[in-house]
Structure 1
Amino acid sequence: MKNLKPYKECSSVFLDDVLKAKNISKKDPEYKKRVEILKPSVKKEYLTFETEHTANNLASLTTAGYVGQDKIDLLKLYKYDNSVIQKLNEEVTTLEGNRLINTCQNCTINEINSLDHIVPKDEFPEFAVNPRNLFPSCSKCNGHKSYVWRENKRSVFLNLYLDNLPEEQYLFCSPKFDADKITLRFTVENRFGIEQNLFGLIENHYKRLHLPKRFRKNSHDTIYELSKEINKYKDKISKDELIKTIKEDIVEEKKYYGFNYWKAIIKETLIDDKTYLTLMFN
């Protein structure tokens, strides 16, 4: 996982731009006029959102209470393929060195194909297109999140715009060997003194998105790639040199994809495992 940088410009202007980009429908030619009437009140709510976002306290928000046609109209503002929203998606997923990241950072498994509403749009239609409320995601994570996003006025998922990920390891895996078959079990553990509130949020995020189970299901390709690399080079360079090279690659992978990137954790675990090394080098 990597933290992404939230939208830097004015959220109210972004709202204006989204509405401008909406096509006028022959079935509902008055749509834009109705939303224009709503805009002043919505922009006031944006100021509240901005305050709580800055304080990383979005879970304390209370809904403005839009219902009926007003709610329908505000929800209609959001469309994933809206040109303004797609531009936002590209902007926040562009990292240092102009590197575009297209993997969902909520899970680091699937490609981005949706935007997660950090504060659910059905409960808060006023924030349906607030750019700081839209986080690039995959539909799988979006589906797991559903409408549950806070408990006792505390978030239950990481907000990767705001919650700075620790550099300490918290994701671990343990291998089980059955003949030539390797299965992995993933756990989230606080072995290195991560601040307790942050660790609790990490633990909740991984549990509610079923990430340990999803990592296990998707682990076979990574195991195969590591074994393939070892088999390719083990007769060309020494065992110690090959292990050193793989570990150097793991360090770079963690820098690139995040310190607790699950594929790097798999490789690191296996390359330090005596049973695995015996299996591969004997």
Structure 2
Amino acid sequence: MKQINIPYRDYIGDYGSVVVRMHNKNKWGEDNQIKILLSGLQDDVAERYDIYKSIFNSEDIVGALGGGYDDDCKKALQSMYIGDSARVGEIKQHIRDIQEEDWKDLCPYCGINCFSGYDHYLPKGEFPEYSILAINLIHCCSTCNTKKLEYWKDDLDRGIVNPYLDDLSDVEYLLCGVNCNNGIPVVEFSLESTGNDVFDSLLIKHFARFDLLARYKDRSNSEISTIRDDIESYSGTLDLESLRTVLQDRYQREVLRFGRSFWKCALRKALYLSDDYLRMLVRTEA
């Protein structure tokens, strides 16, 4: 998984802007108690933002401490994200705008689906004070958002990769095997140790939570068809080793963009290393 760009902003400035833009009166002409409550919480939230930034920078986010708010405060803090605020929309847009082109619309949790919304890495149910904190918001797909829910750790160990903090792009931990049965390539994905027990545990939990090995397998047929279409221009002109070189070159380019253990890269590598698959292509294209 490739580390995505961190949305550095004036975080407490975002908070203050959302509060200031709230109406002073509710629809009954009474003072807006939510705005009053949030204004009173601003200094406390600023301190909590400083704590979050501190543990974020030290990559010790599992030490985050939430709680301490009554129900009214929780609901008010959560409403900042749910409410129709131009500043919240600006925060969300900024998160996507600063990403590399390949990752603007791609879910960093799975690398399969297009972005469709935002996940609170530290769940806003437990940590309502971080509901609009940019570094706590991950642009992701609806499938991953639904599967993650409020989960992010087990006891004192993280269970979800944080795309802002965890850079595993140069580590080859996702493997793919290919077998050709009656002219049909069948793939299986698996995880291999990174040599780091902490990362290994994190990846196992992350992949299990998002059901990634099965989802990658399900998507492989369409990707194999795409790869096949990509090499059609070489039809009948390449032998097995030349075809391997073409596919390997495509793989290396993808690695530069997405990292060694991006699922499509693992698949491409398995295909160019498979003599059975290459022989099948040569026979088919001949």
> Structure 2 vs 1, CA of residues 195 and 235 (structure 1 numbering), >3 Å: closer, same or farther?
same
| C-alpha distance in structure 2 between counterparts of 1:237 and 1:277, whole Å | 11
What code does the residue aligned with 2:185 have? I
Flag structure 2 segments of 5+ consecutive residues without an equivalent. none
Deviations 1:122-181 (A, max 9, x none): 011111111111111112111111222112222111111112215121101112333233
Task: Indicate how the Cα distance of structure 1 residues 185 and 98 shifts in structure 2: closer, same or farther if over 3 A, else same.
Answer: closer
**Number of residue pairs matched?**
280
Q: Secondary structure of 2:186's match?
A: strand
Alignment-derived partner of residue 7 in structure 1: 7
CA distance in 1 between counterparts of 2:216 and 2:252 reads 20
Task: Provide the secondary structure at the position in 1 that maps to 2:195.
Answer: coil
Q: Does 1:220 align with 2:221?
A: yes
Residue 138 (structure 1) aligned with residue 141 (structure 2): yes
> Counterpart of 1:123 in 2: which secondary structure?
coil
Counterpart of 1:72 in structure 2 is 75
SS at match of 1:13: helix
Q: Distance in 2 between matches of 1:218 and 1:127?
A: 34
CA, structure 1 residues 7+126, in 2 after alignment: closer, same or farther (shift >3 Å)?
same
1:164 aligns with 2:171: no
For residue 81 of structure 2, give the secondary structure of its aligned residue in structure 1. coil
1:37 pairs with 2:40: yes
Quick one: distance in 1 between partners of 2:274 and 2:157? 39
Q: CA deviation at 1:215?
A: 0.6
Unaligned runs of 5+ in 1: none
Once the two structures are overlaid, the 10-residue window that deviates more, 21-30 or 218-227, is: 21-30
Given the superposition, is the C-alpha separation of residues 80 and 233 from structure 1 closer, same or farther in structure 2, using an over 3 Å criterion?
farther
Aligned match of 1:272: 273
Match of 2:114 in 1: 111
How far is 1:104 from its partner?
A: 0.5
Alpha-carbon offset, residue 238 of structure 1: 4.6
- The question of whether the paired residues in 2 share the 8 Å contact of 1:45 and 1:64 is answered with no
Q: Secondary structure at the match of 2:260?
A: coil
Percent identical among aligned pairs is 22
Q: Distance in 1 between matches of 2:100 and 2:190?
A: 33
| Partner Cα distance (1:123, 1:188) in 2 | 31
Structural RMSD (CA) = 2.4
The more displaced of 234-243 and 71-80 is: 234-243
Q: Take 1:143 and 1:244, find their aligned partners in 2: how far apart are those partners? A: 40
What SS does the corresponding residue of 1:218 show, helix, strand or coil?
A: helix
Q: What is the identity, as a one-letter code, of the residue corresponding to 1:6?
A: I
Are the aligned partners of 1:75 and 1:128 in contact in 2 as well (CA < 8 Å)? Answer: yes
| Displacement of 1:185 | 1.2
2:96 corresponds to: 93
Instruction: Determine the structure 1 residue equivalent to 2:152.
Output: 149
Worse-superposed segment, 13-22 or 94-103 = 94-103
Structure 1 residue identity aligned to 2:174: L
Structure 1 residues 233 and 82: CA distance shift in structure 2, 3 A: farther
Q: Secondary structure at the match of 2:229?
A: helix
Instruction: Give 2:16's aligned residue.
Output: 16
Whether 1:243 aligns to 2:244 is yes
Find the counterpart in structure 1 of residue 128 from structure 2: 125
User: Matched residues in 2 for 1:16 and 1:118: separation?
Assistant: 22
TM-score, normalised with respect to structure 2 = 0.88
- Corresponding residue of 1:209: 210
- CA distance 1:215–1:100, shift in 2 (3 Å): closer
Q: Which amino acid aligns with 1:146?
A: L
Paired amino acid for 2:191: V
Asked if the contact 1:175/1:183 (under 8 Å) is kept, the reply is: yes
Deviations 1:200-236 (A, max 9, x none): 2122211211110111111111111122333441323
Quick one: structure 1 residues 238 and 273, their matched pair in 2 at CA, closer, same or farther if it must change by over 3 Å? closer
